[in-house]
Structure 1
């Protein structure tokens, strides 16, 4: 697992906070944050940490549930409102992922509904997750009203737009200036999201991820600890300063 000792400790803290549900139920975990916040890397590292605790994991990205381009751009290719309202197919995401992992769900899920490169709608064969699998989802807007109430644990990676724009420029070749016209669709859509849903407050764990090597837990709820975390503490494990 890449990263510093501090990063390893923060990710381990989140992994131990994921609850264990009775009867083989599957906890659902969200890793949210603006474009360029480091969600995918964080979620992948979190998945590895959860597996190291002996728990099965299913990884899904909401980016595999985009609407087709005709829907995504119907309000204009540069529209922040369009990016906020039309990017993702939440009906498919709920039916293919969230409901199968809900309490009493079948655990038969489909990991993707759309190929963004070819703009093709997908209908892959369903997969069946193991009982008690931890579903870890990364993506934008995961605390919005349509899906914000389903998470057993949610994380928001808080990173300034000046930093995320630089990361996006390195990744996508976009402008490193968050005020650039070409960045308006993405930055202003995030501001709409922040105003409408206050994800920094809704998240169970708020993490400052500006320094990739040294993320910092800003706020965490005092939810009931998982048996693993309780065991670690009773054995003398040192809790993070949150």
Structure 2
């Protein structure tokens, strides 16, 4: 398997180039997927200004703002790894409020957040309109086995050992949720050492 080491800055530049190569006649939905230690949201944030400098409107959304209410999410307890993998994310809400409006011919009206986990209440966010040619950057974990529509998917891969080592002690219960999770992404990045990422297989 071909592996190309990169600096963090080169990784950002690589992803910006790939995203900007997507057609500007509609929207580009980009999913950045990784276990919490990889901090996919930080990588997504790093893409915002370079894309805007290229004339691309950008909207940032985090899957963590589209979790189900606690009464549903924690039905089988607070530390159930199967629920964490399959039931925590409000997939229907995320598709309805964020991804489907950016289908070709869609409205472009996106809801930046749906649920406030801290208060366990609706976030009361206002809809925003992303201009055509704009880029949606959606970060989260365990996103790429849920058939979410996207123009580009990025997976930050941790080896099992790195995942176990880097996961916070109070989150070790989530580790079984990642067993067998080997998504097919357009861009896969080895991320055991964030200061020395490496680009591996790509699709398309």
1:156 aligns with 2:158: no
- Cα RMSD of the aligned pairs, angstroms, is 1.9
Q: Which has the higher contact order (CA 8 A, sep 6+)?
A: 2
Cα distance in 2 for residues equivalent to 1:46 and 1:158: 19
Residues paired across the two proteins, number: 198
1:189 aligns with 2:177: yes
- Structure ID, larger Rg: 1
Q: Which structure dedicates a bigger proportion of its chain to strand?
A: 2
* Structure 1 ranges of 4+ moved more than 6 A: none
Cα distance in 1 for residues equivalent to 2:147 and 2:167: 27
The structural deviation recorded for 1:168 is: 4.1
TM-score by length of 2: 0.89
Aligned pair partner of 1:21 in 20, 23, 33: 23
- Note the 1:121-132 alignment, pairs <5 A: 121-132=122-133
Structure 1, unmatched stretches of 5+, are: 176-181, 224-242
1:214 aligns with 2:196: yes
Structure 2, unmatched stretches of 5+, are: 1-5
Cα distance in 2 for residues equivalent to 1:48 and 1:211: 24
- Note the 1:60-75 alignment, pairs <5 A: 60-75=61-76
- Note the 1:98-109 alignment, pairs <5 A: 98-109=99-110
Cα distance in 1 for residues equivalent to 2:131 and 2:167: 35
TM-score by length of 1: 0.76
Change (3 A) 1:22 1:52: closer
